[in-house]
Amino acid sequence: MNVQVENLEKNMAKLTVTVDAAELDKAITKAYNKQKNSISVPGFRKGKVPQNMVEKMYGAEIFYEDAANIIMQETYPQAYDESKLDIVSQPQIDITQLEKGKDFVYTATVAVKPEVKLGKYKGVSVTKVDSKVTATEVNNTIKAELERAARTVTKTGKAAKGDTAVIDFEGFVDGVAFEGGKGENYDLELGSGSFIPGFEEQLIGHKAGEDVDVEVTFPEEYHAADLAGKAAVFKCHIHEVKGKDIPKLDDEYVADTTEFETVEEYKASVKERLENNKKAEGKRAQEDEAIAKIVEDSEMEIPDAMLDYQVENMINDFANNMAGQGLSLQQYMQFTGMTMDSFREQVRP
């Protein structure tokens, strides 16, 4: 195998990989062995047709696609190592020569880690840190900590904003169910704004066991043209309503759950912690500000392929998180009115 590296503009590179014709022949044989049980020729049982007869009848091209994939899977990692490049994207593969009896040649266009010409970094001025903590900040922090300590309880009463409704739902337009509009046992926090505007509000005030018809209108700019601007009805069944039982802040609670004995001692510790956090955050902010100024004065060009690769990874991670909640990425797009293009733009660094 031979690997040639061509440096391109904008921190891109092209690897030209040449594989001996003998290796291509071996890959074609592997492809034949993979496919032979599905090849039918009169007078032969499946799996027993000789390779040369198959090639004579159909041409060796019948095995090219599998053979090419076999070779590239085996050789690209080696080509990656031999290139000595710091590659930061998936390769864009192009096959330039694929013919039995000749060398197999393909190219892999990749993004490489950008070179940086460092700008001025000495004597950079940064903003002064203010680490003062107000009583409001202390109270808000304690309130948030109490909410995190709250127990999730099943409510028998009506759902309120902030509660979680466990629902089945199915969407209809003009009485016809549409693709991607159905979900089961979905935990929906009411007031979170994660569904189409107006959806969550219509579940507030209802109880577990009730069936609710939620009427919404898809945005005019909705990515699915067949739904854009149309009125829809989601038939929902509420399995359960879950609320929060927030503990009361008093000396007894403080003594039971912290290292302190009184509310005042606890508040003092929270204030000290917030001050330390502000100092640490301020230091990080100063570092970030200094880095931003240095970067602004430096020269570098980040390849689009590198950004695209990171964006796709973030989208895949998000889709997996949604799947864990019983919702597909397509359904999320429908309920939020976003398109894949707008979603990519939102997550793009």
Q: Does one domain contain both 8 and 101?
A: yes
Nearest to 236 by CA among 293, 189, 286, 186: 186
Is 166 part of any domain?
yes
What is the Cα Rg of the chain in Å?
Answer: 31
Amino acid at 200: E
Is 120 part of any domain?
no
Is 209 part of any domain?
yes
Largest CA distance in the chain: 93
Q: Which of 213, 245, 277 is the last residue of a domain?
A: 245
Nearest to 16 by CA among 73, 126, 96: 96
Is 198 part of any domain?
yes
Domains of the chain: total: 2
Q: Does one domain contain both 72 and 163?
A: no
For 116, the token pair is 């940086």
For 249, the token pair is 């802040």
Q: What is the distance between the alpha carbons of residues 300 and 120, in angstroms, rounded to a whole number? A: 14
Is 217 part of any domain?
yes
Q: Does one domain contain both 104 and 169?
A: no
Q: How far is CA 146 from CA 140, 141, 150, in A?
A: 10, 9, 6
Q: Does one domain contain both 102 and 163?
A: no
Q: Does one domain contain both 61 and 157?
A: no
- Does pTM top 0.85 for this prediction? no
- Spacing of C-alpha 90 from chain mean position: 16
The SS3 call for residue 308 is helix
The CATH code of the domain that includes 71 is 3.30.70.1050
Q: What is the distance between the alpha carbons of residues 100 and 291, in angstroms, rounded to a whole number? A: 55
Q: Does one domain contain both 160 and 82?
A: no
- The set of residues, in sequence order, having a beta carbon less than 8 Å from that of 204 and lying 6+ positions away, is 158, 159, 160, 161, 190, 191
For 190, the domain range is 152-245
Give the angle 298-303-305 at the CA atoms, nearest 5°.
155
Q: Does one domain contain both 26 and 105?
A: yes
Query: In angstroms, how far is the first alpha carbon of the chain from the final one?
Result: 38
Is 206 part of any domain?
yes
Is 49 part of any domain?
yes
| Region class of 101: left (phi > 0), else alpha (psi between -120 and 50), else beta | left
Q: Does one domain contain both 99 and 7?
A: yes
User: Residue for token digits 């970030």?
Assistant: 288
The CATH code of the domain that includes 168 is 3.10.50.40
For 80, the token pair is 């990656």
Q: Which of 61, 84, 111 is the last residue of a domain?
A: 111
Q: Does one domain contain both 8 and 102?
A: yes
Q: Does one domain contain both 92 and 159?
A: no
| Region class of 130: left (phi > 0), else alpha (psi between -120 and 50), else beta | beta
Q: Does one domain contain both 94 and 161?
A: no
Q: Does one domain contain both 92 and 169?
A: no
Q: What is the distance between the alpha carbons of residues 275 and 182, in angstroms, rounded to a whole number? A: 48
Q: Which of 216, 245, 274 is the last residue of a domain?
A: 245
pLDDT averaged per 10 residues, the chain (length 349): 92 95 94 85 79 82 93 96 92 95 96 79 85 96 94 94 96 93 94 90 97 93 84 97 95 95 97 96 92 78 75 88 85 82 81
Cβ proximity of 216 and 140 under 8 Å: no
Is 305 part of any domain?
no
Nearest to 335 by CA among 183, 139, 185: 183
> How many CB atoms are closer than 10 A to CB 249?
16
Cβ proximity of 238 and 167 under 8 Å: yes
